[in-house]
Amino acid sequence: MLIVMNRNATQEDLDRVIKTILVHGWEPKPIPGGERTAIGILRNQGAVDPAIFLGMSGVRDAIPVSKPYKLVSREMHPENTTVSVGDGSVVIGGEKLVIMAGPCAVESEARAMEIAHAVKEAGASIFRGGAFKPRTSPYSFQGLGIKGLEILARVREETGLLIVTEATDHEVLDLVEEYADIIQIGTRNMQNYRLLLRAGQAKKPVMLKRGMWATVDEFLMAAEYIMSEGNSQVILCERGIRTFTRHSRNTLDLNAVPYIRNESHLPIVVDPSHASGRRDQVIPLARASAAVGVDGLIVEVHTAPEQALSDGPQSLPPAEFEKLVNGLRAMNIMV
C-alpha cells in the first residue's frame, strides 16, 4: 500500500497516517517527492484496505501495491502446476489440450451414455454433467442428485471417460468427492467460502469457475482459499463475465488468460458454452480459447439439444462437437 498525501498536507496529517500504520502493526516508510510525500506500508500480512486511509485529512489516495494471494502466485511457485486426473491418464496443464464434454445436466442413464460415447469418439477425455444443478428459478429442474452421480460412475466404467461434476454446497461435496474425478465449483459459488474450504480438504482436483462478476484478483483469492486448506490440485476456469452487451449471455474474457498465466502457476481452461449462452458462438469461442493457449475446454454437448432439461440451447449436437475438435486439429492444436 502506498499512501499519497496532498501537496498541502500538514505534518499532523502525516503523523496521523504514520500512527495508523503503526497501530495495525505495519511499518511506515515515508518517501518525500518533489511535490508531495508518499508513505509506503511494509510488513503487512495480506492486503491492506485502501479505505482505511481514504477518509483521513491530508490523504489524496491510497494505492494497493502488493497482491493479496500467495499460494496461487507464480512468484512463489515459478513452474506450471499440472493436475493429474483420475488414474493419471489425463493431465491438465500438460502439452495436450484436454477436452471435457457432455450435457449440462444428467437426465437419464441412456441419454448420458449416448452422449458420452459420442464425445469420446470425437476426442473428449473427460465427461461433464450436472447431478446437482444450481437453477435461477425455483420452478426449474434441479438435477437427479445422487442418482445422477451413480449414472456418472457407470458412464466412467463403460466408456473410460473421467468425470467432472458440480458440488453445490459443502454437504453435496462429500458425495461428489466420492464419485467424481474432478470436483467443479460453479460461478455462483466462487465466493461461497464454506464450500471453498471444504474443497480445500478434498482429495480430488477442483475446477473453480470464475464468478461472472469477479476480477482476476478475486478469482485467484478464491483459489487461494482452496489451496490454503492443503489442496493444490486446482484448475481455473474462465467462463465469461457480465458486461453491458446484449448479444450474448456473458462476454468471454480472453484478456484474462495471459494475465493469469503471468500471475499464477495454475492451469486454465475455458467454458465457451456458458461464456456465450448461444450455440452459434460456442465453436468460435472454443477456437479462440485454444489459440490463446488454454489447457482445456469444457463444452456442453447433447444428442437432442432441443429436448434438454436445462441449458439445451447452448449445447452442441455431436456432429457440431466433432467439427469443433477437428477444427482445432486443423489449427495444429494437440488435442
Positions in 60-89 near its own copies (CB under 8 A):
60-61, 63-68, 75
**Of positions 11, 79, 88, 137, contacts its own copies by CB under 8 A:** 137
Please state, in angstroms and rounded to a whole number, the distance separating the CA atoms of residues 62 and 55: 10
CB of 235 to its own copies, least distance (A): 19
CB of 32 to its own copies, least distance (A): 9
Burial of 244 from C-beta contacts in 10 A (0-12 / 13-18 / 19+):
exposed
Shortest CA distance to 328 belongs to which of 296, 286, 269?
286
Please state, in angstroms and rounded to a whole number, the distance separating the CA atoms of residues 96 and 112: 25
Looking at residues 33 to 52 of the shown chain, list those that interact with its own copies (rule: CB under 8 A).
33-36, 38, 40, 42-43, 45-47, 49-52
Measured from the CB atom, the residue of 35 and 79 that comes closer to its own copies is: 35
Helix (H, G, I), strand (E, B) or coil at 250: coil
Looking at residues 277 to 296 of the shown chain, list those that interact with its own copies (rule: CB under 8 A).
277-281, 284-285, 287-293
Measured from the CB atom, the residue of 83 and 173 that comes closer to its own copies is: 173
- C-alpha separations of 248 from 20, 243, 245, 283, 289 in Å: 47, 10, 7, 14, 17
Measured from the CB atom, the residue of 175 and 254 that comes closer to its own copies is: 254
CB of 313 to its own copies, least distance (A): 3
Does 22 bind its own copies (CB under 8 A)? Our answer is: no
Looking at residues 303 to 322 of the shown chain, list those that interact with its own copies (rule: CB under 8 A).
306-307, 311-314
Q: Count CA within 13 A, CB hemisphere, residue 2.
A: 11
> How many of the chain's residues bind its own copies (CB under 8 A)?
111
Measured from the CB atom, the residue of 4 and 153 that comes closer to its own copies is: 4
Looking at residues 179 to 238 of the shown chain, list those that interact with its own copies (rule: CB under 8 A).
188-189, 191-194, 197, 211-213, 215-218, 221, 224-225, 228-229
Measured from the CB atom, the residue of 57 and 89 that comes closer to its own copies is: 57
Grid look-up 458486461 returns 243
Grid coordinates representing 119 are: 464425445
Instruction: Give counts: helices (H), strands (E), the chain.
Output: 11, 14
Measured from the CB atom, the residue of 91 and 254 that comes closer to its own copies is: 254
For residue 299, give the H/E element and its range: strand 296-300
What single string gives the DSSP state of each residue in 106-131? ---HHHHHHHHHHHHHHT--EEE-BS
Give the burial string for 142-178 (b: 16+ CB within 10 Å, else e): bbbeeebbebbeebbeebebbbbbbbbebebbebbbe
Looking at residues 93 to 132 of the shown chain, list those that interact with its own copies (rule: CB under 8 A).
none
Of the candidate spans 122-130, 156-164, 174-182, 253-261, the one that interacts with its own copies by CB under 8 A turns out to be 253-261
**Of positions 28, 29, 145, 150, contacts its own copies by CB under 8 A:** 29
